[in-house]
Amino acid sequence: MWRFAVMLGVVMALSGCQTTHEELLARGYPPAFADGFEDGCGSGRQAAGVITGVFRKDVPRYVKDRTYAEGWEDGFRQCKAMRESEDQQDYRERHWDERERAWQQEKDRDAARAYRSQ
């Protein structure tokens, strides 16, 4: 779980000046892990429905190199979860705005009816 939190923080902290791969290397992760994370992240984004996400997995390396495999699994899981979370948040905000608007309109109608009946 702690690894998830660390990696999520790494991904979220990235700015436009450094790639995820470079950021992971700068933080001391092995190159194989960074390679796997980058491939898994793109794959996770694609699995979550992002048009620009591309499924990538170096299967022979995944099978033979446990560090690459761990990076791939972490990247896939985290990037997929982040994208799904963003989609859910967007939906909630949009849905809540619609409900809020409908409630406000109903409240205004009730106030107008009460005013007219006075």
91 token code pair: 């939906």
Q: What is the mean pLDDT of residues 89-97?
A: 69
Percent of the chain with pLDDT over 90: 35
Greater confidence (33 vs 103) lies with: 33
Q: From CA 28, how far away is CA 23, in angstroms rounded? A: 9
pLDDT of residue 46: 83
pLDDT of residue 25: 93
> Which region holds residue 18: left if phi is over 0, alpha if psi is between -120 and 50, else beta?
beta
Q: Sorting pLDDT into bands at 50, 70 and 90, what band is 14?
A: very low
